[in-house]
Amino acid sequence: MMKRGLGILSPYRMRVLPSSSLAVWNRNNTMSCGRYYTSDFTSGFTSTVNIKGPVQGPLGKAGVLGKGITPRSLKRYLDSYVISQSRAKRVISAAVYNHYLRVQSIRRREDEKAELLRIAREKFAHPLEDEYPGQELLSPTNLESLKQDHTQEDVDFSIEIQKSNCLLLGPSGTGKTLIAKTLAKILDVPFSISDCTSFTQAGYVGEDVDVCVQRLLASCNWDTRRAETGIICLDEVDKISSTKTTSHGRDVSGEGVQQALLKILEGTTLQITNPKSRPSSPQVSGAPSGVSQSGGVTSSFQNFGSFGPAYPGNSSSTKGEIHTIDTSNILFILCGAFNGINKIILDRISKHSIGFNAPVRTRLSNPNAISFEGIGGVQNFYNARVHSGWREHANDVDQKSLATGSKQRTVNILDFTEPKDLISFGFLPEFVGRLPVVAALDTFDEETLVRVLSEPRNSLLRQYEQLFNMSGVELRFTPMALRQIAKLAIAMDTGARALRSVLEKLLSDAMFEAPGSSIKYILINLAAAKFEQPPLYFSRGQRDRFQGAFAAEDTIELNHSVQPNQSKNLSNECETYQPVAAEAT
């Protein structure tokens, strides 16, 4: 069948291909270098696959953040940890998704550019076979010509998408920091939180603003590449607003900090020193980088992307590693309560409400809430947002109005925040211009705080139940007790953080008496939540009484009314369930 010495059988037709066809076949099916060597036939069968090249086919158009990562999926994940705040979660989910689309696109372009340069270098280099089988040496080529000829036509770098930092404003304890932490968890990126109250201008007593970048590097074990795509949360940012004083002194903790943050927010290159890293051996003068005094090679790969201790000008005995990091791809989420900005917003949108026919501003219990019918501009603004995707937020507002028994619709005044309001609050126009995404969070009412207690994955009830379960004790709360705990938390006026304070005070005696005793069941009912009587304790053999006491008060909650005699009878009945004094085992 083989008529010629040079030939190969086609897999489609059983005929011998001529030598010219064989040359074409070899050119299209060999490796990237396009040549065979004698060592290839003596080293056995080998095969290589180029896994670094661009993805071909339908998968090349797939999302770069992974399967199922969309703004809707991010919001659904936030819903399992953050209760209410529908509009803020929608805005921040879309902003974070767009930011990481941009970051992944930049990373992919950089990798494709490096891969195209590698392929072009191998294609135009002159291979020289070494004495070892299968080893090749490539002669150097002109890299500048390769960049000009092969990268510009394949990868388009003309469109550069700028990042959009976020500002979350709302009362204390409404979930601003929790939203940022949860997003960093689902995206698996480095995350750090810095308090702006300790920042001062460079040269003064306090922390410099680049400390926030240093904490981000420390959170990812000083991996510069990972840190450049992380999230930095600057909490209490409203505390660095400039103060209008008559003195001639410099505002080093207000306007000075804002000016220092301008370049970091926009994107700049910083050199951060790792204070904990110390070189094991000093660098020999005149020795090449990576070689120690004893002749051994140092771990240069661990310091990839950073200037190590051997960088000229560094003293290895006094300084650690110096890491160079670019903040252009770091997402900054700024959080603050902004107490008093509601008056600035309300004065702006109601400045024309003067005269006999002008609407009267309605005073509500919530300082950040205004009447929906009170101001015409608010109504038009609100209706426009409802038709453009605020329906979920509108449903939350309607539910709050129904829960409070109000016939008027109320909205959060912070939803109408504009850059001019932030400037009037005390921020520089340049600083406000670097925060294009603004999302407001609303205060929690009683119904929302009850949901915060029980619905999230890491809710406080589950945490304390797990804590008592470690000691072999089952802890339960009645629905009426949860409502009373929410009322006490609202009176503290610190948001959801007050819930933990109430629970710690309520369970302090139980956490002391239950471990190591005969107590196996603890019930927190309405009377215990009001601190009128201690929690109900039950021993191992009183499980039925424990469940009966819980069901009795739960039935009263379903009836939505508690008569005085019913409460008294229930309290007397529960007193019989309490065991005799718990004895330590």
pLDDT above 70 for 100:
yes
Question: Cα separation of 127 and 121, whole Å?
Answer: 11
Single out the residue in 420, 440, 460 at which a domain terminates: 440
Under a CB-based contact definition with an 8 Å cutoff, are residues 43 and 408 in contact?
A: no
**Amino acid 259: pLDDT:** 92
Q: Are residues 331 and 344 in the same domain?
A: no
Under a CB-based contact definition with an 8 Å cutoff, are residues 306 and 326 in contact?
A: no
What range does the domain containing 17 cover?
A: 1-30
Single out the residue in 408, 440, 472 at which a domain terminates: 440
Q: Are residues 325 and 176 in the same domain?
A: yes
Question: Cα separation of 557 and 535, whole Å?
Answer: 19
Q: Is residue 372 part of a domain?
A: yes
Question: Cα separation of 496 and 176, whole Å?
Answer: 11
Q: Are residues 306 and 200 in the same domain?
A: yes
Q: Is residue 307 part of a domain?
A: yes
Average pLDDT score over residue span 77-88? 92
Domain count, the chain: 4
Confidence of residue 44 (pLDDT cuts 50, 70, 90): low
DSSP string, 17-71: --HHHHHHHHHHHS-TT----GGGGTS--------SSPPPSGGGGS-TT-TT-SH
Confidence of residue 253 (pLDDT cuts 50, 70, 90): confident
Q: Is residue 311 part of a domain?
A: yes
Q: Is residue 419 part of a domain?
A: yes
Q: Is residue 232 part of a domain?
A: yes
Q: Is residue 496 part of a domain?
A: yes
CATH number of domain containing 206: 3.40.50.300
Provide CB contacts within 8 A for 191, sequence distance 6+: 180, 181, 184, 185, 216, 219, 230, 231, 232, 233
Q: Are residues 344 and 465 in the same domain?
A: no
Phi, psi at residue 297, to the nearest 5°? -85, 125
Confidence of residue 411 (pLDDT cuts 50, 70, 90): confident
CATH number of domain containing 557: 1.10.8.60
Q: Are residues 556 and 455 in the same domain?
A: yes
Report the residue count for the chain.
585
Measured at the alpha carbon of residue 13, what is the angle toward residues 10 and 17, in degrees to the nearest 5? Answer: 45
Residue 46 CA: distances (Å) to CA of 29, 43, 130, 295, 585? 14, 8, 18, 37, 70
Q: Are residues 413 and 465 in the same domain?
A: no
Nearest to 77 by CA among 191, 182, 232, 189: 182
**Amino acid 564: pLDDT:** 44
Q: Are residues 318 and 354 in the same domain?
A: no
Structure-model confidence comparison of residues 306 and 247, the more confident one: 247
Round the average pLDDT of the chain to a whole number and report it: 74
Structure-model confidence comparison of residues 125 and 488, the more confident one: 488
Confidence of residue 60 (pLDDT cuts 50, 70, 90): low
Q: Are residues 372 and 462 in the same domain?
A: no
Q: Are residues 451 and 305 in the same domain?
A: no
Q: Are residues 475 and 562 in the same domain?
A: yes
pLDDT above 80 for 111:
yes
Q: Is residue 289 part of a domain?
A: no
Query: pLDDT of 282-332, one tens digit each?
Result: 444 344 444 443 344 333 333 333 333 434 344 444 467 899 999 999 999
Nearest to 99 by CA among 192, 184, 216: 184
Q: Is residue 545 part of a domain?
A: yes
Q: Are residues 380 and 510 in the same domain?
A: no
Average pLDDT score over residue span 569-578? 46
Q: What percent of the chain has pLDDT over 70?
A: 58
Query: pLDDT of 491-536, one tens digit each?
Result: 998 999 999 999 999 999 999 999 999 999 999 999 999 999 999 9
The shares of helix, strand and coil residues in the chain, as percent rounded to the nearest 5, are 45, 10, 45
Radius of gyration of the chain (CA): 33
Q: Are residues 421 and 504 in the same domain?
A: no
Confidence of residue 135 (pLDDT cuts 50, 70, 90): low
**Amino acid 31: pLDDT:** 44
